[in-house]
């Protein structure tokens, strides 16, 4: 497997990232904060190409929790894109979203949950849903392409209609396991 194919996961023909992009547009999301993940690569490209969206690349995911708190203070709607390992970097900062009642939708591409190759991804991947829920986040999963659009739409609605952190976990079965050329 060449490197491009490795980093282009999910499959370039998969359309579910476009369904996420359309959902962001439907809900007038204008600030997209992220630490890149290969599973979000196609969605990130769509957001970067959109002049109505501000993409903010973070040095660590917890910055995004604080940043989107500020966005909401100013009346803008945002979303946080990250990999499951990044969830671990967010935990204390979620205190602010809970205390302030900030709508905070998060889209998390999973590692360490389905056919994982890298042992270092397993501890945080397996803990992702538990720690998010421990910090008051409403968590839903999408493991099949046909589930993505409705689940992401639900995560965004729950955040902005009920004022809290919410997350969709995009399962590794959906994204495709990264194999480092060993498949």
- C-alpha–C-alpha distance, residues 82 and 108, integer Å: 5
Q: Which of 17-25, 38-46, 71-79, 172-180 is the region at the interface with another protein (rule: CB under 8 A)? A: 71-79
Would you count residue 51 as binding another protein (CB under 8 A)?
no
CB atoms within 10 A of CB 161: 10
Q: Contact with another protein (CB under 8 A): which of 5, 6, 26, 28? A: 28
Q: Which of 4-12, 60-68, 123-131, 170-178 is the region at the interface with another protein (rule: CB under 8 A)? A: 60-68
Three-state SS at 102:
coil
Three-state SS at 146:
helix
Would you count residue 54 as binding another protein (CB under 8 A)?
yes
Would you count residue 135 as binding another protein (CB under 8 A)?
no
- C-alpha–C-alpha distance, residues 128 and 141, integer Å: 11
| Beta carbon of residue 84, minimum distance to another protein (angstroms, whole number) | 20
Would you count residue 21 as binding another protein (CB under 8 A)?
no
- C-alpha–C-alpha distance, residues 122 and 153, integer Å: 28
Q: Contact with another protein (CB under 8 A): which of 20, 34, 58, 108? A: 58
| Beta carbon of residue 157, minimum distance to another protein (angstroms, whole number) | 12
Tokens 């995911």 appear where?
Answer: 61
Would you count residue 162 as binding another protein (CB under 8 A)?
no
Q: Which of 36-44, 89-97, 144-152, 173-181 is the region at the interface with another protein (rule: CB under 8 A)? A: 89-97
- DSSP alpha helices (H): ranges in the chain? 3-7, 16-26, 41-48, 61-73, 84-87, 94-100, 122-134, 145-162, 172-175
The structure tokens listed for 132 are 């998010």
Would you count residue 91 as binding another protein (CB under 8 A)?
no
Q: Contact with another protein (CB under 8 A): which of 160, 166, 169, 175? A: 160
The arrangement of strands across the sheet holding 138-142 comes to 54-57, 31-34, 78-83, 104-109, 165-170, 138-142
Residues that bind another protein (CB under 8 A): 28, 31, 54, 56-60, 62-78, 92-93, 95-96, 99-102, 160, 163
């Amino acid at each position: 497997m060449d490197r491009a194919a490795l980093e282009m996961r999910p499959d370039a023909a998969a359309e579910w990232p476009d369904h996420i992009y359309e959902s962001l547009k439907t809900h007038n999301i204008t600030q997209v904060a992220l630490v890149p993940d290969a599973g979000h690569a196609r969605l990130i490209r769509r957001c970067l190409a959109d002049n109505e969206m501000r993409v903010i690349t973070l040095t660590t995911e917890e910055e995004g929790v604080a940043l989107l708190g500020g966005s909401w203070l100013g009346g803008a709607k945002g979303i946080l894109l990250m990999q499951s390992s990044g969830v671990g970097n967010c935990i204390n900062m979620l205190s602010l979203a809970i205390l302030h009642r900030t709508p905070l939708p998060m889209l998390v591409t999973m590692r360490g949950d389905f056919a994982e190759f890298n042992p270092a991804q397993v501890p945080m991947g397996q803990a992702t849903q538990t720690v998010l829920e421990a910090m008051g986040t409403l968590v839903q999963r999408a493991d099949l392409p046909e589930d993505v659009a409705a689940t992401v739409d639900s995560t965004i609605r729950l955040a902005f209609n009920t004022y809290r952190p919410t997350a969709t976990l995009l399962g590794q079965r959906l994204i495709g396991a990264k194999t480092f050329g060993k498949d």
